[in-house]
């Protein structure tokens, strides 16, 4: 028999510039846990993880503006603008602070949320933190360049190979979903990477004083940022994920991620 807390539902939240699409599960009275996805994905990347956390938390996974089924924002793309729209939507609808988890670009948005709205973020968990080296800052936007549509369909192969290269061992359905999402978000793919590069994440990390857990898989390209990120945070700590875990860890090793998040966030809830 299916536990009603495990059932994932979806809906839309309003903000000043449009609507935010989200998935949710768990009991509404449980502590609110907000999940923020990587680029060019959507909240769909958390569909395997969410039921593993639904007994302890009310889990909300949003599509970043311009991704998945969320509306785009007017004006320039920035991490601050993403965070503001998410804050407006989630805080107005649920009217309480949240535990926040972000992966890659989602980690950048999570940091921005904690910096801009410390009263909203009870605790922070970052997978693949975006404290980038100069070389990474130079390379990141070019890794998401727009692929022009080709009448013979060659653009599908180019994007497929780009997304497949992130994890050649991932199931084909996952790579296919990510390829479709990459085309759907259009120029927001590269723009969001540029926004990550432009964010002053080091200054923001140093100002955050809520409990923070930082980790990355052994094959995550951002693994080298874990230790420097922890050093900047006032109340940061590091954790370990499997050595074989990479950019799709939330889908390929969801139990490992859920275990880290559950233990960390429950301790925060119990000591608040």
Structure confidence at residue 4 as a pLDDT band (50, 70, 90): confident
Higher pLDDT, 205 or 5: 205
Write the DSSP string, the chain: ---GGG--EEEEEEETTEEEEEEEES-TTSPEEEEEPPTT--GGGGTTTHHHHTTTSEEEEEPPTTSTTSPPPSS---HHHHHHHHHHHHHHHH-S-EEEEEETHHHHHHHHHHHH-TTTEEEEEEES-----HHHHHHTGGGG------TTSHHHHHHHHHHHTT-TTS-HHHHHHHHHHHHHHTTHHHHHHHHHHHS-HHHHHHH--S-EEEE--TT-TTGGGHHHHHHHSTTEEE----TT--TTHHHHSHHHHHHHHHHHHHHHHHH-
% pLDDT > 70, the chain: 99
pLDDT 10s digits, 5-38: 889 999 999 999 999 999 999 999 999 999 999 9
> What pTM did the predictor assign?
0.97
pLDDT 10s digits, 135-147: 999 999 999 999 9
In the predicted model, is pLDDT for residue 189 greater than 80? yes
pLDDT at 157: 96
Overall average pLDDT of the 153-179 stretch = 96
pLDDT at 45: 98
Overall average pLDDT of the 102-126 stretch = 98
Overall average pLDDT of the 192-215 stretch = 98
pLDDT at 1: 39
pLDDT 10s digits, 228-247: 999 999 999 999 999 999 99
All structural domains of the chain, each given as residue ranges with its CATH number in brackets, are: 4-133+199-267 (3.40.50.1820)
Overall average pLDDT of the 190-205 stretch = 98
pLDDT 10s digits, 67-99: 999 999 999 999 999 999 999 999 999 999 999
Average pLDDT, the chain: 96
In the predicted model, is pLDDT for residue 114 greater than 50? yes
pLDDT at 52: 97
pLDDT at 3: 62
pLDDT at 163: 96
């Amino acid at each position: 028999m299916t536990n009603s807390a495990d059932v994932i539902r979806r809906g839309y939240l309003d903000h000043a510039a449009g609507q935010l699409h989200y998935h949710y599960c768990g009991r509404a009275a449980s502590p609110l846990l907000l999940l923020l996805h990587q680029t060019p994905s959507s909240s769909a990347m958390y569909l395997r993880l969410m039921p593993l956390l639904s007994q302890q938390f009310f889990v909300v996974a949003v599509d970043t503006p311009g991704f998945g089924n969320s509306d785009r924002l007017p004006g320039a793309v920035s991490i601050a603008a993403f965070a503001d729209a998410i804050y407006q939507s989630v805080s107005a609808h649920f009217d309480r602070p949240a535990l926040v988890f972000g992966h890659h670009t989602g980690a950048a948005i999570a940091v921005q949320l904690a910096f801009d709205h410390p009263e909203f973020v009870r605790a922070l968990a970052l997978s693949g933190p975006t404290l980038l080296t100069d070389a990474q800052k130079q390379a990141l936007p070019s890794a998401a360049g727009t692929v022009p549509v080709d009448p013979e369909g060659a653009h599908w192969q180019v994007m497929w190979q780009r997304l497949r290269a992130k994890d050649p061992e991932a199931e084909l359905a996952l790579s296919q979903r990510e390829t479709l999402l990459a085309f759907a978000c259009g120029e927001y793919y590269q723009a969001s990477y540029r926004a990550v590069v432009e964010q002053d994440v080091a200054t923001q990390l140093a100002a955050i004083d809520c409990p923070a857990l930082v980790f990355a898989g052994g094959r995550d390209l951002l693994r080298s940022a874990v230790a420097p990120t922890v050093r900047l945070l006032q109340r940061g700590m590091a954790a370990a994920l499997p050595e074989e875990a990479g950019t799709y860890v939330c889908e390929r090793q969801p139990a490992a991620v859920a275990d880290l998040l559950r233990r960390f966030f429950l301790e925060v809830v119990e000591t608040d």
